[in-house]
Structure 1
Amino acid sequence: MAKGLEFDSVIVIEPANIAQAQHGLRLLYIALTRAVSRLVVIHSAPLPAALRAARDALAV
């Protein structure tokens, strides 16, 4: 059985721009779930709502 692509580290730049594209939320989900060890999100624009909620849930 083959799995999808996975990477040790993934850097996602400007997730809001990705989310606005056609099928953007799907593509953003794929990008965010490919990291095995490290995920880095770099942004200057506000994060999409789902990412803000996830970030806020993790901030303790």
Structure 2
Amino acid sequence: VVVLTVRQSKGLDFDTVVVADPAGIVAESPRGMNDLYVALTRSTNRLGILASGDPPEPLRGTLQP
């Protein structure tokens, strides 16, 4: 298991990626949605998203519980 920040993962690809707290990424980063995009596009095969509460607006309606 490799744990990276969004900045550390930029430019890398992984078979499976789990993104924790996408709303937190958007809220806490000066690059907001841009950093979330980077996090969500590192996976080449499987993507998991762990979140409590509502996801950021652009993700609503696209995620399955």
For the aligned pair, the TM-score class normalised by the smaller chain equals 0.7 to 0.9
Structure showing greater Rg? 1
More helix, by proportion: 1
Q: Which runs of 5+ in 2 are unaligned?
A: 1-10
* TM-score when normalising by structure 1: 0.78
1:36-51 equivalences under 5 Å are 36-51=44-59
* TM-score when normalising by structure 2: 0.73
Query: Secondary structure of the equivalent of 2:45?
Result: strand
1:1-60 equivalences under 5 Å are 4-20=11-27, 21-55=29-63
Q: Which runs of 5+ in 1 are unaligned?
A: none
Q: Post-superposition, which runs of at least 4 consecutive aligned residues in structure 1 deviate over 6 A?
A: none
Give the number of equivalent residue pairs: 53
CA RMSD in angstroms, aligned pairs only: 1.3
